[in-house]
Amino acid sequence: MILLFYNLALLVVLVVGAPWWLFRMATTHKYREGLLERLGFVPSRLRKQIAGLGRERTLIWVHAVSVGEVLAVSRLVKTLDAALPDYLIAVSTTTRTGQALARERFGSNRVFYSPLDLPWAVRAYLNALQPRLLILAETEFWPNLLSGCFRCKIPVAVVNARISDRSWPRYRRLRRLWRPFLSRLGRVLAQSQTDAERLIALGCLPERVTVTGNLKFDVRAAGEADTTRHLKKWSLGLRLIVAGSTLDGEEAALLEAWPSLLQADPKLAMVLAPRHPERFASVAALLQKSGFHWVKRSVWSSTPESSIKSLNPGQIVLLDTIGELASVYSLASVAFVGGSLVPAGGHNPLEPAQFGIPIVMGPYFTNFRAITEDLLDHQALRISTTDALAATLIDLLQDRAAAKVMGARARQVFEQQAGATGRSVEALKLLLSGDCTS
């Protein structure tokens, strides 16, 4: 009955919203990309991979929504590849940026856009893939997808499961609606004890919930990015501030602080990496208006290396590419992790922590509360308001000994919390073997 009401509500939303969606698809490429796949047309590249599996159900479907989730499951997918060589691990994403990164990390032949949660679209993929197991990253709960799996007796596992502070009130209000779905999940591998307790309160069976830790503590940069290699060559003698995953309002705050930072350390340059690609153009316009000397990273791709000039003190690099930020953090004297000066919940401070980089964040970090508080407890991260941003960064730039100790603590926290991938893989193997209730 719940599923019937959900589908009726979904139908109403589709009908009412159709003019808007048609307009967006006609005017914006990102709304058209992958549309057929989202509507249930399984791409031929994936069908070819499935054909090679024979009659055995030896496909595992991993769903990761966007860039953050793809990064989180990157090591998990590679570990599953090694641990289960007879299985094909296929990966779906929802967003365009997540799709691009997943194809880069795992190869395009086994990566696809997740179907919309429409009965026919979900059914088409379940019939074509016939997965032995569905693995959801974090809390991607979709009623038709879950019901389709349960109906086909496909076990469903959730890895890196969490209920954020922001989402918790909403989930709690709707717990009676979620309980019939969550109570049938095969395994729920939670990031923390708080997440486990919340998931149980929503309807997950206690015996199927395990705290395995955060997969993001196991994330390592995939290798030295081209930008990292270029910056090593072209920023000799300079110190870098890397400001990553910034949102609207944060670039302006950093640019306002920039003259004070340069006065304190004239040998600075900055790498500015907006979170969302669709904002690259607006941030470029902001930089152009600022009067500071700046360059787009993408320009380097179309310029012979011999013609590229070294960075000058005070210059800003706009990192308008996907998947290179984690590697670029390794060059930072200080890292600022964005999404945190504005009430957006913050982004992952582990990316710079793995390199032993001192980290600054704003006061809004609910999306990464456990990680951030762990770093704060170890004095491995500093919180700053917008007004105090310049002073906080200057303090770390000038007190190099304190910054080095702070970075070392961050790396220590990162290393101590590792191991979630191994624990998750063992739990998933048990579920596949039938040793766990599914």
Q: Are residues 412 and 423 in the same domain?
A: no
| Whether residue 264 sits in one domain with residue 171 | no
- The Cβ of residue 194 has, within 10 Å, a number of other Cβ atoms equal to 16
Going by their DSSP bridges, the two strands 133-137 and 111-113 should be labelled as unpaired
pLDDT at 124: 96
Alpha-carbon gap, residue 245 to 161, rounded angstroms: 22
Nearest to 167 by CA among 367, 7, 307: 367
Other C-beta atoms closer than 10 Å to the C-beta of 159 total: 27
With CA atoms as reference, report the closest residue to 241 among 225, 222, 260. Answer: 260
pLDDT at 30 over 90: no
199 and 252, same domain (yes or no): no
Residue 411 maps to a domain = yes
- At residue 145, what is the residue type? L
Is residue 136 in a domain?
Answer: yes
Give the pLDDT score at 102.
95
| CATH number of the domain to which 150 belongs | 3.40.50.11720
- Structural domain includes residue 4: no
94-129 per-residue burial string, b: 16 or more CB within 10 A, e: under 16: bbbbbbbbbbebbeeebbbbbbbbbbebbbbbbebb
Strands 268-274 and 294-296: unpaired
Tell me: the pLDDT tens digits for 142-176? Answer: 999 999 999 999 999 999 999 988 889 999 998 98
Q: Is residue 438 part of a domain?
A: no
**Closest by alpha carbon to 414, among 382, 378, 383?**
378
The pLDDT of residue 4: 80
Residue 305 has what pLDDT? 78
Domain residue limits at 67: 36-213+419-433
Are 138 and 65 contacting, i.e. CB atoms less than 8 angstroms apart? yes
Q: DSSP secondary structure string, 131-152? A: -SEEEEESS---HHHHHHHHHT
Q: pLDDT confidence of 26, banded at 50, 70, 90?
A: low
Conformation bin of residue 314: beta by default, left when phi > 0, alpha when psi is -120 to 50: left
Mean pLDDT of 309-329: 93
Has residue 20 been placed in a domain? Answer: no
Q: Give residue 65's pLDDT.
A: 93
Q: What is the mean pLDDT of the chain?
A: 91
Q: Pull the structure tokens for residue 17.
A: 């919203």
What percent of the chain lies above the pLDDT cut of 70?
95
Catalytic (active site) residue 69: yes
Closest by CA position to 341, among listed 405, 424, 282, 255: 255
Q: Specify the pLDDT at position 12.
A: 77
Q: Provide the pLDDT for residue 18.
A: 63
User: 343 with 375, same domain?
Assistant: yes
**Are 319 and 325 contacting, i.e. CB atoms less than 8 angstroms apart?**
yes
CATH of the domain at 295: 3.40.50.2000
Least trusted range by pLDDT, from 23-27, 37-41, 308-312:
23-27
Domains of the chain: total? 2
pLDDT at 437: 45
Q: What is the pLDDT of residue 438?
A: 39
The answer to whether residues 102 and 77 touch, using CB atoms and an 8 Å cutoff, is no
Residue 418 pLDDT greater than 90, yes or no = no
Check whether 64 has a pLDDT greater than 60.
yes
Same domain, 115 and 194: yes
pLDDT tens digits for 251-274?
999 999 999 999 999 999 999 999
At residue 176, φ and ψ (nearest 5 deg) are -70, -30
- Indicate which residue of 69, 138, 250, 324 is catalytic: 69
Q: Are residues 178 and 80 in the same domain?
A: yes
Of 19-23, 74-78, 396-400, 431-435, the poorest mean pLDDT is in: 19-23
Name every residue whose Cβ is closer than 8 Å to that of residue 94 and which is 6 or more positions away in sequence: 65, 66, 113, 114
pLDDT (0 to 100) of residue 373: 93
Let me know if residue 348 belongs to a domain: yes
User: Are residue 321 and residue 290 in the same domain, yes or no?
Assistant: yes
Let me know: does 182 contact 204? Beta carbons within 8 Å.
yes
Beta bridge partners of 157: 135, 187
3-state secondary structure of 357: coil
